Each structure stands twice: as C-alpha cells, then as structure tokens.
Amino acid sequence: MLLLIFVVKIYESTVFGQIWRLEPLSSEKKSMWRREIELLLCVTDHIVELVPSWQTFPDGKKVEVMTSRQRSDLHVDLPALRKLDKMLLETLDSFCGVEFSYVDRGVLSANHDASLSPRRPIHLREEKWWLPVPRVPPGGLNENTRKQLELKRDSTNQILKAAMAINSNALSEMEIPQSYLDSLPKNGRASLGDVIYRYITSDKFSPECLLDCLDFASEHQALDIANRVEASIHIWRRRTTVSKPTNNTRPSWGIVKEMIIDADKRELLAGRAETLLLCLKQRFPGLTQTTLDVSKIQFNKDVGKSILESYSRVLESLAFNILSRIDDLLSADDFAKHSDKLSPVHPTALIVSQALHMQTTPFAATFINKKLDMSAKTQY
C-alpha cells in the first residue's frame, strides 16, 4: 500500500511540483500524468462486489443471480476525482496569454526599475522565499481579468473542498490501528492540556473563540493541537464503549444512572472535540496529515481505499497550490492599485502590522487580556 501511495506522490511531484507559477502545463507533462494515473487506476476495475440482479432466460423465466460490479465507493468517488482532475488541468490551461508575469526574487532585489520596486512584493509570505514574485501592469489588472481570476478562485476552492471531502471519507472508513489506540494517554485532560481541556468542558463552549485564543505561530503548533484533539476524541469514545460492568452482579440503580450520565458526558465532549478539529482544519486547509491519518495509511490493507486516499490527496494539494498562487496574484493586484495612495512601508513593519491584525479579531480581543474563567471539571 505504501509503495502505491509513494508512486502516486512521485508522479504528482514530477508533473506538478508546487505550482510556482500560474501557467499551462506542457503537453508532455499532461500526457504523462494521464497515462500514469490511468495505469494506476486500472487496478480498481478488479475491486468488485457482488450484488443481486435478475437474469431472463429465453423461455421468459426470471432468476435472481449475483453479479459482480465495481465496489460502490470506487464507483462513486473515482469518476468524481477524474472530473476534479480534469477541471484543475483546465484551470491551469486557461492561464495563457495573460497580462501578468513572474520575476525571481534574486532578479527583483538587483533590479532598480520602479515597476519592480521592493514595495510591490512585500505582501508575499517571507517563508515562501523560493517562490517567484507576480508582476502586474502599472495600475493593476483590468476589471475583466480580475473578475475571471475571482471566478477561477471560487471554482478552485470548490474543487479543494470536494477533494478534501473524498479524502476525509476515505480516511474515516479505514480501520484505526491498535498500535495507535495503545499509544493514547489515559484521559482527555492529559491529551489536551489544562487550557484546552478546561475550555472544552465549560458550559460556554465556542470552537472559534478557543482557536482565536490559541497560539498558532507555526504549522507545527497547529498540527500538534490537531493531534491532541483527535487523540482526545478516541479516548472519550473508547472509554464510553468499554465502560461496562465486568462482573455478573446486578448493579444498583445509582451506579447504572451514574454510568449513563458519564457516557453521555463523554459523548458530548467527543462531539465538541470533533467540532474543534473540524474548525481547525478549515482554518488551516494546508495542514499536513495527523498522526492518526498517517497511522491509518501505514497499516491500511484495502487497495481501493488507498487509491482513493492518495488520488484525492494529490488533487487536494494541487488545488491548494493553485488557490495560493491566485491569492498571491490578487494581493499583488490590490497592492498595485493602491500603491499610489500608500507611503513607502518597510516589509518588517507590514509583517508586524499583519500579525497584530490577526491577534485582534473580535474573539481574541475579548479573551487575550482576560483569563479564561472556567472551573475545572472531573478528569475524563
């Protein structure tokens, strides 16, 4: 299974890379991608299931027989993924004869042309130093081009959501490895930590508010929180299923009532943790796979689910990269159209200003200067 996933990833990296520029793929790369992906997907034609059907004999007699057809999840999701794949390639092909271009950062820093002034690229993320800088005409893109870009962005965003949904569904249907369950902490508080645990068990729970209060200085911190929240979900769900009396004695009504309340409480907390995890993934769509996802992929033995997961993940990555490049281009256009109204700003000042803006959202402004007034609950 891992070899199959590795091959798909190699083909994706060879053909698409990280999509540094919004430009059409060469015909050689497109034909290579279509040829190789169809070669890998042909395996799914032999992953079948038996379904009842009626067979009519020459004398008119009908007999119910079992016939084979492609497994239902592959029958539904593979055509959808092929359609998403085609739409993404068409989106890239549409970026021909455009009025914008790209300049490498090394050329940009050595060029003293006013159109390549250091003021123009400061909207780009500093950690993406290897990406070329989009260059737009003086005064920005024309309105028609701008509208087309926004339409392509909306379309690519929908493709991204569809690929993420198929990938999430494929992962959810994979069996959780026992090695992952054995590595979980003893209770939810040990997994989440005091701050998240107290807030998630409080009466006034808001996932967006909690995310605004947490520190996401890097992707690694966001991934660490996602791993801890996901682990707490399975801790609570697992303890709900195993919290049953082990002896044959008949428990009293008080014990039974306490067990029912305890199980309902754990299910409530697991539901809140799922909501928090979903909001976290929506806020960070480019987040790498969690520990549970990696463990599922590693120990999965279903070839069909591995193909769906790897193919949808490749399309998800491609759609996210195209979306990011469109956002960079739109930001460059906004900056070019308003550059005459702005005084020269040092890049560091802009980065600090953006960071302060992110920390002063309506939720964060309420909670940053106040302690979370929450009472600790019983450990679950």
134: phi then psi, degrees, rounded to nearest 5: -70, 135
Q: Is the pTM of this model over 0.85?
A: no
| Residue 290 three-state SS | coil
- Spell out the domains of the chain, with CATH numbers in brackets: 2-34+77-164+304-342 (1.20.58.2010), 178-299+361-367 (1.20.58.1310)
Question: According to the model, what pLDDT value does residue 25 have?
Answer: 87
Residue in this structure with the two tokens 């059409």, named with its chain if needed: 24
Check if the beta carbon of residue 262 is closer than 8 Å to that of residue 188. Answer: no
Euclidean distance between CA atoms 66 and 219, whole angstroms: 50
| Rounded (10°) CA dihedral 110, 116, 119, 122 | -80
Q: Answer positive or negative: Cα dihedral of 159, 164, 167, 173.
A: negative
Q: What are phi and psi of 277, to 5 degrees?
A: -65, -40
With beta carbons less than 8 A apart as the criterion, state whether 115 and 135 touch.
yes
pLDDT at 343 over 80: no
pLDDT at 292 over 70: yes
- CA–CA gap between residue 115 and residue 103 (Å, rounded): 11
* Strand extents, DSSP E, the chain: 48-56, 62-70, 101-103, 133-135
Query: Shortest CA distance to 75 belongs to which of 38, 47, 105?
Result: 47
How high is the pLDDT of residue 252? 56
Strand partners, 63: 55
Look at 12-26, 80-94, 177-191 and tell me which has the smallest mean pLDDT. Answer: 12-26
Helix or strand (DSSP H, E) at 358: helix 347-359
Q: Which two tokens stand for residue 213?
A: 């209060």
Banded pLDDT at 260 (limits 50, 70, 90) = low
Amino acid, single-letter form, for residue 342: L
Contacts of 199 (CB under 8 A, 6+ apart): 205, 210, 213, 372, 374
Position 133, amino acid? V
pLDDT at 286 over 90: no
| Cα–Cα distance measured from residue 50 to residue 44, given in angstroms and rounded to the nearest whole number | 15
Q: How confident is the model at residue 342 (pLDDT cuts 50, 70, 90)?
A: low
SS3 194: helix
CA–CA gap between residue 345 and residue 323 (Å, rounded): 27
Q: What is the mean pLDDT of residues 245-257?
A: 51
Confidence bin at 217 (pLDDT 50/70/90)? confident
Distances (CA, A) of 77 to 80, 285, 293: 5, 21, 19
How far apart CA 207 and CA 226 sit, in angstroms, is 13
Residue 264 near residue 237 (C-beta atoms within 8 A): no
Whether the Cβ atoms of residue 185 and residue 231 lie closer than 8 Å to each other: yes
Most confident of 23-32, 203-212, 226-235, 352-361: 226-235
Closest CA to 374 of 158, 177, 157, 210: 210
pLDDT in tens, 80-110: 999 999 999 999 999 988 888 888 866 555 5
- Can you give the pLDDT at residue 335? 86
Q: Which residue has the tokens 């976290």?
A: 280
